[in-house]
């Protein structure tokens, strides 16, 4: 059993050691912040995007870095998950992306503002958050929808933009959205040139089309048309 003086000494030494460890850990954490947050990549455009995010109260519906509401999708890794084309299209005209379904407000952002928001979301997605948020486990849901995942479809030319944009509205092999028609066998129904024209400007091909004109590059259009032509 410790004497009164020994107990006092033990308490003081323990407090000093623990306090020293706390200070050292705090200093170490703070020193890691610039690298983990990619502080050198915080450009004026990223700052402008953050200002737009705050000014328009995006956190009133969305969650980012664990903060915000849960009414709309979590956006910490949205750039990695959806890509630039999808984000720009969604910010440009939310209603056209999910006709009659999405409830995102039309903010009438300018192209400059959209580019700034995309830059901000890209920076957020590259911040090292020690594994947060965890990648969703889509296994059980996918098993109910199809026997194969999109990554298992034997088409090596499947473009990245397909997984980021097209899958949000269209299904293939039982996986994907239900807003647009399923794309199984689309290569037997539509010629390559038709698909190119459609991807370039759906409304020019069909005036009452519900598919929006996506900001796709010519290279992305050709990749998608070739991929879709192979779905027979």
Region 162-172: mean pLDDT is 90
Mean pLDDT of 85-114: 87
Q: Mention the CATH class of domain 139-229.
A: mainly alpha
Residue 198 has pLDDT above 60, yes or no: yes
pTM of the model: 0.70
% pLDDT > 70, the chain: 90
Mean pLDDT of 118-142: 78
Backbone φ/ψ region at 57: left (φ over 0), alpha (ψ -120 to 50), beta: left
pLDDT of residue 154: 47
**pLDDT grade for 28, boundaries at 50, 70 and 90:** confident
Where is average pLDDT lowest: 77-86, 173-182, 190-199, 217-226? 173-182
pLDDT at position 144 is 40
CA dihedral 100, 110, 116, 85 (to 10 degrees): 50
Each residue's pLDDT tens digit, 131-166: 888 776 544 433 343 444 444 544 447 899 998 899
Specify the CATH architecture of the domain 39-126.
Orthogonal Bundle (1.10)
Give the pLDDT score at 136: 62
pLDDT of residue 145: 39
Residue 88 burial class via C-beta count within 10 angstroms: exposed 0-12, middle 13-18, buried 19 and up: middle
Domain boundaries along the sequence of the chain: 39-126, 139-229
**Percent of the chain surpassing pLDDT 90:** 54
Structure confidence by residue, pLDDT tens digits, 48-97: 999 999 999 999 999 999 899 988 889 999 999 899 999 999 999 888 88
Cβ atoms of residues 144 and 151 within 8 Å? no
């Amino acid at each position: 059993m410790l004497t009164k003086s020994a107990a006092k000494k033990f308490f003081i030494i323990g407090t000093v050691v623990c306090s020293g460890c706390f200070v050292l850990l705090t200093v170490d954490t703070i020193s890691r912040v610039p690298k983990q947050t990619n502080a050198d990549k915080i450009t004026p455009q990223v700052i402008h995007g953050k200002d737009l995010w705050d000014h328009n109260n995006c956190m009133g519906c969305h969650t980012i870095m664990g903060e915000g509401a849960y009414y709309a999708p979590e956006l910490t890794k949205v750039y990695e998950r959806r890509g630039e084309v999808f984000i720009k299209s969604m910010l440009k005209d939310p209603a056209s992306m999910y006709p009659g379904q999405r409830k995102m407000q039309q903010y009438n952002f300018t192209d400059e503002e959209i580019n700034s928001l995309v830059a901000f979301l890209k920076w957020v997605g590259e911040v090292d958050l020690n594994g947060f948020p965890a990648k969703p486990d889509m296994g059980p849901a996918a098993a109910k929808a199809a026997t194969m995942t999109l990554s298992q479809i034997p088409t090596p030319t499947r473009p990245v933009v397909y997984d980021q944009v097209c899958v949000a509205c269209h299904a293939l092999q039982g996986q994907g959205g239900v807003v647009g028609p399923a794309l199984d066998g689309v290569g037997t129904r539509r010629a390559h040139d038709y698909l190119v024209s459609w991807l370039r400007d759906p409304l020019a091909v069909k005036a009452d089309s519900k598919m929006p004109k996506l900001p796709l590059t010519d290279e992305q259009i050709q990749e998608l048309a070739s991929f879709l032509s192979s779905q027979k």
